[in-house]
Structure 1
Amino acid sequence: MAGCSDPQKSAATEKPAAVHIEDGEECHVCGMAITGFPGPKGEVITEKRQQVHKFCSTRDMFSWVLQPENIKRDHTLYVHDMAQSEWDSPLDTALIDAREAFYVIGSERMGAMGPTLASFANSKAAEGFAAQFGGQVKAFADITMSDLNAASPAAMDHGSVEQGSMNQGSMER
């Protein structure tokens, strides 16, 4: 019986591949066209039905993921690694696991819907982006709804000792 269950278990835990974002597709949250706008995009592949939801920005993806009915689910999430792609037209070849990414919140760079979370595969690239464009670096697990509500780069305050220590811990992951 152990031999029969192992292949099923590995198939169930295998992550589905990212899906290309096609011209004309609309954001699952706001209904806006996804392509043709700057900044990183996101996509979610639901855990049970394997439905693909695409988002015009990482901010919209997080607003969906952080909803109470979604936050504890084991959906597969992808975002663009902006260290591997141009801001004005992110490439789908640069999609990375969103749960392993680092995000810059409150930078001066705008996405499809205005302020967005710039996504990076590693903390060093995120820190470089933040040094150039402003903002605060956080790991996926540290993103909250209040981060999404940061309306402008000025809303991100680097002065809080508590925020600084939390972010430092995030960078060591």
Structure 2
Amino acid sequence: MPALLPVFTLIALLLTGCNNATDTAEATPSQPIADDDVCHVCGMLIAEFEGPKGQAFMEDRTDSRKFCSTLEMFVFLQQPENQSQLRHAYVHDIGATPWEAPRDDAFILAEEAWYVIGHDRRGSMGHTLASFSSREVATRFIEAHGGEVIAYDDIDLDLLGSLGRGETNRHTAPDHG
């Protein structure tokens, strides 16, 4: 058994090295939105539109896939072929940056954000999920713009489809205005 101790030590070191590489990959910082960046879903120039944007880091890439709205990013991420490939995603913290021109220094991890749906603000493709770093700031946004606070885990294809159809409040009829 003592002869196997160096082998077990080497295996443990190698596995620790692999875990550190994964941690580094998961911590890839957000990337700036350049003037010529196009949305991965619709191909529109991202910087030309108001509202929170998103970016996702997938297993098969070192750069991010960028999106002109949080709605488009979540529609992409909810597709079964993309769900298992996601390393992490970022959204703008609208509590820390203007809606009209979100800044690159205001990206936060999407899974840690709070979202407001059913509000009166519009993004590039109409209604989008307003993203915030805290529930308290999201609640203050609701006081001015209406809506409902949800968590990252509440976002699914049914919700996104409703929002895309203009059904901006889960408890009322579609908004046709």
Please tell me the TM-score bracket, short chain as reference.
Answer: 0.7 to 0.9
Shift of residue 135 of structure 1? 1.2
Contact kept? 2:119, 2:168, Cα under 8 Å: no
Structure 2 Cα separation of the partners of residues 95 and 155 of structure 1: 24
* 74, 80, 92: which one aligns with 1:80: 92
* 20, 45, 61: which one aligns with 2:73: 61
Shift of residue 147 of structure 1? 2.1
- Written as runs of structure 1 = structure 2, the 5 A alignment for 1:86-125 is 86-125=98-137
Does residue 12 of structure 1 match 2:25? no
Contact kept? 1:47, 1:76, Cα under 8 Å: no
Contact kept? 2:127, 2:168, Cα under 8 Å: no
Letter in structure 2 aligned against 1:82: I
**Structure 1 alignment gaps of length 5 or more:** 160-173
Aligned position for 1:139: 151
Letter in structure 2 aligned against 1:56: C
Letter in structure 1 aligned against 2:73: M
Shift of residue 158 of structure 1? 4.5
Structure 1 Cα separation of the partners of residues 86 and 68 of structure 2: 21
Identity, % of aligned positions: 41
Aligned position for 1:42: 54
Cα shift readout 1:30-57 (whole Å, capped 9, x = no counterpart): 1111002110000011124324200000
Contact kept? 1:105, 1:147, Cα under 8 Å: no
Does residue 24 of structure 1 match 2:36? yes
Cα shift readout 1:46-72 (whole Å, capped 9, x = no counterpart): 124324200000000001000111123
- Cα gap change, 1:155 to 1:97, in 2 (>3 Å): closer
Contact kept? 1:41, 1:80, Cα under 8 Å: yes
Larger Rg: 2
The structure in which a higher percent of residues are helix is: 2
Q: How many residues align?
A: 158
The structure in which a higher percent of residues are strand is: 1
Shift of residue 100 of structure 1? 0.7
**Structure 2 alignment gaps of length 5 or more:** 1-9, 173-177
Shift of residue 75 of structure 1? 2.1
Q: CA RMSD in A?
A: 1.6
TM-score w.r.t. structure 2 length?
A: 0.83
Cα shift readout 1:109-141 (whole Å, capped 9, x = no counterpart): 000111000000111111111222111111111
SS at match of 1:35: helix
